Amino acid sequence: MTRDLLQRLERGVVLLDGGLGTELIAMGLAQGQAPEWWVLERPEQVQQVHRAYAEAGSDVIHACTFGATPLKLHSAGLPGRCEEVNRRAVELARAAAGDALVAGDIGPTGVMFPPMGEATVEQLAASYEEQVGHLVRAGVDLLSIETMFDLREARVAVQAAARSGLPLLACMTFEARKRGVFTIMGDALVPSLRSLHAAGATAVGLNCSVDSSHMIPMLREAAAQLRCPLVAQPNAGQPQIGAAGVTYDATPEPFAADLMQMVRDGARVIGGCCGSTPEFIRVARRALDEG
Amino acid sequence: MSNESQPTPSAMSEAVVAGDAELARRLARQALEQGMPPLQAIEEGFVVGIRRAGQLWEEGDYFLPELVTSAEAMQAAMAVLRPALQRGAGGSVGRVVIGTVQGDIHDIGKTLVATLLSANGFEVSDEGSDVPVERFVERARELQADLVCASALLTTTMAAQRDLVQALARAGLSARVLVGGAPVTRAWAEQIGAAGHADSAVAAVEVARSLISGVQP
């Protein structure tokens, strides 16, 4: 199997993994504690989730680095541990991935631009560049930017990641509003994705916020106007609060059917976000293989 | 002088909806200079504006940047009006520590509740967003707070409200907990032992009043 995402994309649809943070919470990660803590303290648990996704048929395993920019690690109580967290997280993913590719996962810094916060482009660029450098040295096969809600920050992240020369997925998180599909900051779906592709992302798309049925029309809208490969990673339904904590209400079969609909509509890279489990990926793998 | 620079309630409201902090501050000063009671300027003017901004957000016309600039305009006006309010109203109705729980950066609803509580005579210490449980407890102890208001906008962060109720009890503090935020329901409040919950900023003021006075709303 080739370690090149682009070659795999040429051959067909690429299946990512599913939720990592929600799986770790199910294993006992405390609410509010960053998953990166478990990279250092409970590595066997993190690896167990990676292995389950690899065995379920994921083509790509996301390393546990979503919150591993220096800025985010600082607010998570892990200041100064950027190199260590990224290196060890990639080691864990690689050891469990088998033939699957390993993606360096990159999420928002949590520091926002005015008027919400006081971030500057230089500050965020430096934070992303540092994480990307550690991920590249740790040997990831591709980079995957996820859950961006501010196009300005997403572009800074994409530019930093694209300079690595690695294949790059870039997803933002959108909701249907009265006047169309937007991020919480008011960035519109198609112009945002077009902008991220122009900034250097190999494939662009949507993750989180919505369940699979609500992502279908969004993906369709993007596919009608964009020529680049598209990514879709919906949540496994909507979160429900119960005595057992937060659960998600989707089941694997309808979720996989929605993913297959998005493939027919033009998605080339599919996977799951919050609440999706290895079982969701196993069912999606079967649906993909059966065509 | 054109009508729009007069400190009318609708001009105040408009300044907040437009997110014009400079104009809101000026209108608040002019209102005081012309003898308008500060509570009237707040309730008939600025609060109407921030409620409208919240409505525009819910309806999908406003996004986070617009909502934040509206809240900033509201706060600019409140900074002018609050000292006058306290001079006129006598003592505080009750002491409140308020914040959004750890892991959650959503600020708008919480800021609106803090503003309305303050406008209604509560002494409010707004701890901002992403506030750890220990910080709530520490501030409640320092200020001898009557109420601790905790907002959570994410299903993944609302468990911190339960941690807060337990931590205050462990610390032996008598402050009662009022919880709010989009996913928060009465059932959740009862389940975690919170004293009350509110599903809007206006309701929060009523619940806060009733918790302090011991009268059910």
Give ipTM to 2 decimals: 0.82
Residue A175, classed as helix, strand or coil, is strand
Q: Which helix (H) or strand (E) holds A247?
A: strand A245-248
Cα angle A232, A167, A23; round to 5: 50
Query: Quick one: CA torsion of A265, A267, A268, A274, rounded to 10 degrees?
Result: -150
Q: Which residues contact A238 (CB under 8 A, 6 or more apart)?
A: A211, A248, A249
Q: Does B61 touch chain A (CB under 8 A)?
A: yes
Output the pLDDT for position A32: 72
C-alpha dist (Å) from residue A286 to A15, A51, A52, A232, A259: 11, 18, 15, 18, 12
Cα–Cα distance for residue pair A231/A223, rounded to 1 Å = 10
Q: Which residues of A touch B150 (CB under 8 A)?
A: none
Q: What is the mean pLDDT of residues A114-127?
A: 94
A43-47, B71-75, B153-157: the lowest-pLDDT one: B153-157
Residue A216 C-alpha from the chain's centroid: 18
Residue of A nearest to B131 (CA): A32
Q: Which pair of structure tokens corresponds to residue A248? A: 């998600």
Which CATH number, 3.40.30.10, 3.40.50.300, 3.40.50.10860, 3.20.20.330, labels domain A5-290?
3.20.20.330
Are A32 and B188 inside 8 Å of each other by CB? no
pTM of structure: 0.84
- Give the best residue of B156, B161, B186 to mutate against chain A (max A CB count within 10 A): B156
Cα–Cα distance for residue pair A150/A171, rounded to 1 Å = 11
Are B68 and A75 inside 8 Å of each other by CB? no
Q: Who has greater pLDDT, B2 or A115? A: A115
pLDDT tens per residue, range A126-165: 999 999 999 999 999 999 999 999 999 999 999 999 999 9
Cα–Cα distance for residue pair A193/A222, rounded to 1 Å = 8
Q: Which residues of A81-111 are buried (b: 16+ CB within 10 A; e: fewer)?
A: bbbbbbbbbbbbbbebbeebbbbbbbbbbbb
Location of structure tokens 């260590």: A84
Summarize chain B as % helix, strand, coil (round to 5): 60, 10, 30
Q: Which residues contact B198 (CB under 8 A, 6 or more apart)?
A: B113, B178, B180, B204, B206, B207
Q: What is the mean pLDDT of residues A202-215?
A: 96
Is residue A259 within 8 A of residue A286, CB to CB? The reply is: no
To the nearest whole Å, the CA of B116 is away from the closest chain A CA by 21
Q: Which residues contact A275 (CB under 8 A, 6 or more apart)?
A: A19, A22, A235, A236, A237, A239, A247, A248, A250
The confidence band for A220, taking pLDDT boundaries of 50, 70 and 90, is: very high
Q: Which amino acid is at A167?
A: P
Cα–Cα distance for residue pair A181/A190, rounded to 1 Å = 9
Q: What are residue B55's phi and psi, to 5 degrees? A: -65, -45
In the β-sheet with A230-235, what is the strand arrangement from edge to edge? A14-15, A267-270, A230-235, A203-211, A168-172, A142-148, A101-106, A60-62
Q: What is the mean pLDDT of residues B77-81?
A: 91
Q: Does B169 touch chain A (CB under 8 A)?
A: no
Is the confidence at residue B217, as pLDDT, over 60?
A: no
Is the confidence at residue B214, as pLDDT, over 80?
A: no
Q: Which residues of B touch A32 (CB under 8 A)?
A: 101-103, 157, 159-160
